[in-house]
Amino acid sequence: MTASPRDDALPRHDWTLAEVEALFDLPFAELIFRAMSVHRRWFDPTEVQMCQLLSVKTGGCAENCGYCSQSAHFDTGLAASRLMDAEAVIADAARAKAGGAQRFCMGAAWRDLKDRDVPKVAAMISGVKALGLETCATLGMLTPPQAKALREAGLDYYNHNLDTGPDYYETVVTTRTYQERLDTLGHVRDAGIAVCCGGIVGMGEARRDRAGLLHQLATLPKHPESVPINGLVPIAGTPLGDLIRAEGQLDGLEFVRTVAVARLVCPKSMVRLSAGREGMSRELQALCLTAGANSIFVGGKLLTTPLPGESEDQRLFRDLGLRPMTSPEPALAG
């Protein structure tokens, strides 16, 4: 690997898998130095975006994602619920804004969005947007007309993760293909919505699979504006949760490497420290933020899994000298 940090700071779409793997293999200090240099090229390193995610329809999902408590295929003790009313969602968003959130995300446990639910979801989006919050939704697969309707309602971002690299994908889920995920990302792009797309690490995959995920993101025609990096929260009753509970979770330094490589291959993207933060030490979170993560989920809960509380996050920000983001996102600015 011969590229300098300055070269790495310019977005590329021609990464090879071997090049991404070579980044993972760099000495830890060198990798973090390169990631920090790229981060400073595009972002203020003292700023972090705060996001909050609400489950607007929980449980009963037809997908068999092996990590998910909301799948109808697994007995995790989670009760299914109906789609929330827009008024209740907007009230939750107002509380999130009062607590410091800058982006509000709405997630529904569906395989795909049904046309009958589009008006209700659109009302949620427009109401949250009217509060002055950035809007994001994750609702499963979309058709082109549905994506257009969400954009017209004021949706800024659509989240649709690839989960893992293509070679490990069928170990994680078999009810939806990798290409179907890519197709939904295309529909989102065509509608003019920014893309939020990342994955989950620590599901028993190899380093090559983590590199494969980031290679897929880095070689899309346009990089996702947001790249969430989730650490698996092993939930009893899910196949991957039971596996990891038995074999042990991913090493923390390997998680940091994943964050740093994400920053290098998608330099202008928001790199979001997502699920799994509750189980991380303050020191591990600080390393992730140093390595290029510049967005976190707050609010004490991420769909059905826990997050640190507001006081813990405020103390971490204070001790690290961080503040809520005010700078514009460079990927959205062009």
pLDDT at 12 (0 to 100): 93
- Exactly one of 34, 51, 65, 288 is catalytic; which is it? 65
Alpha-carbon distance 170 to 182, whole Å? 15
The structure's pTM equals 0.91
Closest residue by Cα to residue 291 from 247, 321, 239, 255: 255
Let me know if residue 293 belongs to a domain.
yes
Domain that holds residue 84: 17-319
Rounded mean pLDDT, 86-90: 95
The identity of residue 196, as a single letter, is C
- Exactly one of 181, 210, 263, 272 is catalytic; which is it? 272
Closest residue by Cα to residue 218 from 139, 167, 165, 171: 165
- Exactly one of 34, 51, 68, 277 is catalytic; which is it? 68
For 251-265, how does the pLDDT look when each residue is reduced to its tens digit (9 = 90+)?
999 999 999 999 999
For 62-78, how does the pLDDT look when each residue is reduced to its tens digit (9 = 90+)?
888 888 888 878 877 77
- Exactly one of 34, 51, 103, 136 is catalytic; which is it? 136
- Exactly one of 103, 181, 196, 197 is catalytic; which is it? 196
For residue 226, give the 3-state DSSP assignment.
strand
For residue 304, give the 3-state DSSP assignment.
coil
The token pair at 60 is 């009963």
pLDDT at 170 (0 to 100): 94
For 135-161, how does the pLDDT look when each residue is reduced to its tens digit (9 = 90+)?
999 999 999 999 999 999 999 999 999
For 287-298, how does the pLDDT look when each residue is reduced to its tens digit (9 = 90+)?
999 999 999 988
- Exactly one of 34, 51, 103, 105 is catalytic; which is it? 105
- Exactly one of 51, 61, 197, 288 is catalytic; which is it? 61
Indicate if 288 belongs to the active site. Answer: no
Number of domains present in the structure of the chain: 1
Let me know if residue 328 belongs to a domain.
no
Residue pair 108/83 in contact by the 8 Å Cβ criterion: yes
Indicate if 197 belongs to the active site. Answer: no
Let me know if residue 334 belongs to a domain.
no
pLDDT at 138 (0 to 100): 94
Pairing between β-strand 295-297 and β-strand 47-57 as defined by DSSP bridges: parallel
Indicate if 196 belongs to the active site. Answer: yes
pLDDT tier for residue 3 given thresholds of 50, 70 and 90: very low
Let me know if residue 324 belongs to a domain.
no
Let me know if residue 291 belongs to a domain.
yes
pLDDT at 2 > cutoff 60: no
Let me know if residue 12 belongs to a domain.
no
Let me know if residue 217 belongs to a domain.
yes
Residue pair 273/285 in contact by the 8 Å Cβ criterion: yes
Let me know if residue 246 belongs to a domain.
yes
Q: What is the CATH number of the domain that holds 174?
A: 3.20.20.70
pLDDT at 197 (0 to 100): 97
Alpha-carbon distance 191 to 145, whole Å? 8
Residue 302 or residue 200, greater confidence:
200
Q: What are phi and psi of 280, to 5 degrees?
A: -95, 145
Average of per-residue pLDDT values in the chain: 90
pLDDT tier for residue 222 given thresholds of 50, 70 and 90: very high
Indicate if 68 belongs to the active site. Answer: yes
